[in-house]
Amino acid sequence: MEFQINKEFISHITELISDNNHAKIIEVFKDVHYADLAELFEEIEAELAIAIIKIVNTEKTADAIVELSEDIREEILKGMSTEEIANEVNELESDDAADMISELSDEQMHEVISQIEDIKHAKDIVDLLRYDENTAGGLMGKELIKVNEKWTCMQSIKEMRLQAEEFEKVYTVYVVDDDDVLKGRLSLKSLLTTSTRTPVREVYSPSITSVKANEEAEQVARIMQKYDLVVVAVVDEMGRLVGQISVDDIIDIIKDEAEKDYQLASGLTDDVEADASIIELTRARLPWLILGLFGSLCAAAIMSSFDSDLLRNYSELFFFTPLIAAMGGNVGVQSSGIIVQGLANNNIKGSLWNRLFKEIGLSLINGVVLGFLVIGYGVVQNSDLLLSITIASSLILVIIIAALIGTFVPLILDKRGIDPALATGPFITTSNDILGIFIYFTMAKIILPI
C-alpha cells in the first residue's frame, strides 16, 4: 500500500501524539519505509518529527534522519538530547553514523560518542571522523566480512557466520593476511565446492579492485562506474583493509556532483535549494548576473567604438547583432558541454591538436551551412548582397572561434583544478557574446564600403 502524505494524515498523527497514543503511532509506522518517513519529516514541523522519532525509535527512524536534507536534519537534531541522538546512532551503520555525528558541535559530538553502547561501533565512528568527507575514507563503512588466508574453508565459514550476524548486507568476503593487508576476495562458490580442510590461500581470487582511503570521492565514483562495482574495498597506504564503499554511497556522490555541475552551468555559484531564503538565492545568482551585465556593457562599448558611419549607412547591421551573439553562445555551450561530459566520464582521448582540427572542421561545416542560409534569407528579403555576405562570413568566423573557446576553456579549467562545468554556463556565453560582437563589426568594417 502506498504511503500517502496529506493534511488529513498529518492532522491524524498530531492528534495521536496529543493523546499520547503511542501504541497506535507505532502501528501506523510499522510498515512504512524509512524513505517515506523521511519525506514525511520534510513536510512537518521539527517538533512533530522529533515526537515521532522518540516514540517509534527504531532503525527506521535513524535511516530516515540520514535521508533528510542538511537543514531539516540540523533542525531535528537540535531538538534532541545527546542521549536520544546516541540511540539513533546505535541503529546506523558506521558511515551513516559518522555523517550524522560530524554535523554536531564538538561538545555534542563527544557526548554522543561517549553514550554509544557498542564500544566497537563507537571506535569505528571515531576512526571514520578522521577522514575528509570528500574522500574514500569519508565515504566508507567499517562493516565488512574478512577471513585470513591461513584459515581453512571450514574455519572461514564459522568466522563468517559470527561476523555476518552484525550486518544487514554482505557484499563480498575479503581475504587478508596476519597484518590485515588485503590479498583478494573469496567467492561463496569456492567455499561450497572446496574441501573444508583446504586453506583459503589456495582458493581465493587475488583479482580485486581497491581504492586508497585518501582517494577523492569523484575518482572512486569513476572507478565503480567503470568496473560496474557494487562495492569497493578501501585500503590505507600500507595496503591494509580499512573499510568498504557500497554503491548507494556512490549514487549520492554522483547525484550531488550532477546537481553541482547543473547549478554551475545555470549560473549559480552556491549549492541552493528552491526553498532557500532570498539572501541565499541572491548570493548564488547575483555574481553571474553581474558578469552578464558586464558582458553586455562590454558589447555595447564595442559597438559604440566603431565608426558611426558604419551603422548610419548599414543600419541593418544592428538588427543582426542578436543572431551573432546567440549563435556564438549556443555553439560555445554545445562544445563545452561535450568536453565537460567527456571529462566527467574520463573518456577524453587523443591529442589536443587532433581535437583542435576536428573542432575547426566541424564548426566550419556548421558555419558554412548556416552562412548560406543567412545569404538565402537576404536574397528572399531583397537585402544588400554584400551585407548578407558580411553577416554570413562573420557568422562562420564566430562559430569557429566559439567552438574553440568552448573546447579549450573546460580543458584549461580542468588542468588548473577548477570544475570544468563552470565553462558551460554564463561564463562561456558572455565571453562568446563579447568576442562575437567584436568580430562581427570588425568584419563589417573590413568588407563594407563606407
Q: Which CATH number is 278-447 given? A: 1.10.357.20
Q: Find, among 23, 78, 21, the residue nearest to 49 by Cα.
A: 78
What cell numbers appear for 63 in the block? 535511516
Per-residue pLDDT tens over the stretch 163-187: 877 777 788 999 999 999 999 999 8
Contact assessment for residue 71 and residue 46, using Cβ atoms and an 8 Å cutoff: no
- pLDDT reported for residue 271: 59
Contact assessment for residue 102 and residue 73, using Cβ atoms and an 8 Å cutoff: no
CATH number assigned to the domain with residue range 145-247, chosen from the 4 options 1.10.760.10, 3.90.600.10, 3.40.50.300, 3.10.580.10: 3.10.580.10
- pLDDT reported for residue 343: 74
Helical segments of 184-307, H only: 188-193, 217-226, 247-266, 278-305
CA distance 137 to 118: 21
CATH number assigned to the domain with residue range 7-136, chosen from the 4 options 3.90.1210.10, 1.25.60.10, 3.20.20.10, 3.90.25.10: 1.25.60.10
Q: Find, among 199, 244, 431, 190, the residue nearest to 333 by Cα.
A: 431
Contact assessment for residue 448 and residue 386, using Cβ atoms and an 8 Å cutoff: yes
- pLDDT reported for residue 315: 77
Q: Which of the 8 DSSP states describes residue 205? A: B
Q: Find, among 98, 62, 94, 92, the residue nearest to 244 by Cα.
A: 94
Q: Map out the domains of the chain as residue ranges.
A: 7-136, 145-247, 278-447
Q: Which residues are CB-contacts of 430 (< 8 A; sequence separation ≥ 6)?
A: 291, 292, 294, 295
- pLDDT reported for residue 190: 84
Contact assessment for residue 436 and residue 323, using Cβ atoms and an 8 Å cutoff: no
How many Cβ atoms are within 10 Å of 385's Cβ, its own excluded?
11
CA distance 152 to 142: 24
What cell numbers appear for 6 in the block? 496529506
pLDDT under 70: residue ranges of the chain: 1-3, 57, 258-277, 281, 284, 307-309, 311, 344-347, 349-350, 352, 421-425, 450
